[in-house]
Structure 1
Amino acid sequence: MQRSDVTRDDGAWVGLSLDVQGRHQPGLCLFSAGPQLLVSQLSRPVLLAVVDEQLQGVDFWRTDGYRSFVPPLRADVGRALAGSPERWAHRFAQYLIDSLDSPLHEGRWLLSCDSPLRRWRHAGTSHAEYWSSMLVDGCPDGYIDWFLHSHSWEVLPLRPMPDADDSRVKAYRKQAREGTLPPVLLWWVSGLDCHLILDGHARLAAAIAESVEPPLLQLHRTVQRDDLVARIDQAVGFYEDELARFAELGAVHGPTVPDGAATAGPQLVRLLHDLNTVEQPTWAWPLPGGEDRWRRIAREATAGQDWPHV
């Protein structure tokens, strides 16, 4: 895996670009069978989902099969890396690539601290209220509402959120107050229009209990290698076309017309930056056996309960 830092034009660090090769199917894998989805971890069902016919949301059933691939994070490590999302990103990137049951597969990814979740909290809303509202309710089943929460990209825990008095949460609450809380690792899954918590359920609970903004690292796919050269050529072509257009205007109207670099240049920078940062759809693999197999898995996971409710 090749890693490279992604920065804004002002030099501010945005995230870590991961170029993964030789991993054709991940251990934590998204499968599809028509409108039915399955998140499976090394053949263990983790999350079953059904997109409703009106495309207004997703019914889901969460099993107890998810296991985090991140080892327990010691308090002294939290203190050593506090305030450095770059160092945390490199550490989590190593966990992602070393583990056979992470969602990484071949392609280009971004592990970023610049999550859109940070930008939507109203100034008059406390961190505890906001982050509590972003959590999708449901144990074991629930509903991701695309109609009421269109593009708000909620957060779906892959296991039950612990209570504020849980022993792990109490330990993390101290780190939250000290500003040394390790990041919560999220995976953006486009088929759910939602973030899944890969690691940090107790840390997020601690941040909510202390009403502080949780540090985040968000994982999502970016433009894949095969498309990258073509996309770069398109961006450069747009820049050159703009300069040529301004040159033609200058030939007609005289030297008062600018050369266009002041407007086309920043646009080129943004286009190139987006190639390393913009979210690409999450890959889903066809479920072997299709919808019949999905229904069998659902019956076993739900112990034959009447789910989904249709």
Structure 2
Amino acid sequence: MNLHWKDLETDGGQWFGLALQCRMDDGRHRKPPLHLESGDNGRIRLVQECAGSDESVVRFWATLLSDYEGVYWLRGADEAPAPVPASTLDSAIVERHAALPQAQRLPGWSRVFAQALAEGPASFLYPGLWVLMAMRPKPGTWTFETEPLRRAQASWWLEDARDALREDPLFFIDWWHGRYPLLNLRAPAAVDDGRLKWWRKKAREEALPPVLLWYLSCLNGYVIVDGHLRLQAALLEDRPPSFLVAYSAYEQAVRPDPAAQRAILDSYERHARELALRLPQRRPIGTDSINATLIAAFDDRPLLLPRSYGWATRRPEAQWLDEVRARLAAIGRSEAMDEFAAR
């Protein structure tokens, strides 16, 4: 896959993330190894194709409630390669990035992850525009937030990272009362796992690479695609990590209101005239305030909004139901089948 990136900065000049333009080497639009599948009657699967084989692994099943108040979600098997190969995060690369100034670490890691996804055998990138954005912890908390990329856009946030690594593969995403959930594709590792111990050491040294998330608009939530062990290490050491959130984006045109623009300019011109006349009720307006107002009124850069794509399948709904039934039976949760079947 050909990948072209450019840095994105907020209006305040802070690094926000990367904009990625992805194209297949042959110009075709093939589905990636890790992809969403959309079936009959609102049935969804996340499927991972195995390199060099015709076999595939289901990473999760999901189905929307008929009243659109939420999603029933069921995690699949853990045994699947990560989208980011382990060699991408060897000790030399981790140490090299840990030596960077704090402000340069996430920009550096974003390039590492982008390149790994472009070349990896289990990537979820498909042709088009993607954004890989930084989500940092708020000081002293386990709440995470991005800076708004544009003044016209809200920030992204995450509040339930402490609860993300669930043993239970079954989860209900409550769209009515819930927040953006963080969903794990792997169960937590044993606390004596050697790799986990190493990541705990990196967490204590404040050298932990970010955890990679994929925002899926069909779930209105985030999926951990790389970094389950890193997040577990951060939780055990009580050291909030940073996240890099990937989402498939589309550009929505912004059309400023000419009448509002004219009114703002007229207001500033009138204010300047009154200042020149030394009217007592007039005080100078700060430059930052003027700039913020003018940018908000005249900024016509397109918004980068999320939109996840899936591949339609002709597989019958009965096959999806059989797979869910078998998975629930395997984990001893057959009583939940009625909730998945109801639609």
TM-score class normalised by the smaller sequence = 0.7 to 0.9
Kindly provide the amino acid, as one letter, of the partner of residue 75 in structure 1.
S
1:87 aligns with 2:108: yes
Residue 161 (structure 1) shift: 1.6
Output the TM-score relative to the length of structure 2: 0.73
1:295 and 1:105 map into 2 onto residues whose CA distance is 28
Q: 1:66, CA displacement in angstroms? A: 3.5
SS at match of 1:222: strand
Q: Is 1:285 aligned with 2:311?
A: yes
Q: CA RMSD, aligned part only?
A: 3.3
Q: In the alignment, is residue 215 of structure 1 matched against residue 242 of structure 2?
A: yes
Hey, what does 1:309 align to over in structure 2?
A: 338
Q: Which runs of 5+ in 2 are unaligned?
A: 50-55, 145-158, 276-284
| Map 1:89-238 → 2, pairs under 5 A | 89-114=110-135, 118-119=137-138, 133-135=162-164, 137-149=166-178, 152-224=179-251, 231=253, 234-235=254-255, 238=256
**Higher normalized helix content (fraction of residues):** 1
SS at match of 2:186: coil
* 1-structure distance, mates of 2:205, 2:265: 57
Work out which of the two has the higher radius of gyration on C-alpha atoms and give 1 or 2: 2
| Alignment counterpart, residue 60 of structure 1, candidates 69, 73, 76 | 73
Pairwise CA distance, 1:4: 0.2
Partner SS state of residue 44, structure 1 = strand
CA distance in 2 between partners of 1:255 and 1:288 (Å): 69
Q: Distance in 2 between matches of 1:309 and 1:138?
A: 22
SS in 2 for 1:31: strand
Q: Is the 8 A contact 2:189 2:196 kept in 1?
A: yes
Deviations 1:125-166 (A, max 9, x none): 799xx76544163533232233342xx212111011224332
Percent of aligned positions that are identical: 26
Letter in structure 2 aligned against 1:69: P
- SS of 1:298's partner is helix
Classify the secondary structure of the residue corresponding to 2:317.
helix
Q: State the SS of the aligned residue for 2:247.
A: strand
Which deviations, in whole Å up to 9, do the C-alpha atoms of 1:26-75 show, x marking residues without a partner?
22111222232111112321101122234332222212154202122222
Q: Which amino acid aligns with 2:82?
A: S
Given that residues 56 and 145 in structure 1 are in contact (C-alpha distance below 8 angstroms), is that contact kept between their aligned partners in structure 2?
yes
Instruction: Indicate the residue corresponding to 1:26 in structure 2.
Output: 32
2:7 and 2:142 map into 1 onto residues whose CA distance is 33
- Map Cα deviations across residues 164-222 of structure 1 (whole Å, 9 max, x no partner): 33222111111001011111111011111221111111100000000011121111122
1:295 is aligned to 321
After TM superposition, the score normalised by the length of structure 1 is: 0.80
- State the partner residue of 1:244: 262
Distance 1:209 1:202 in 2: 10
Question: 2:303 — aligned with what?
Answer: 275
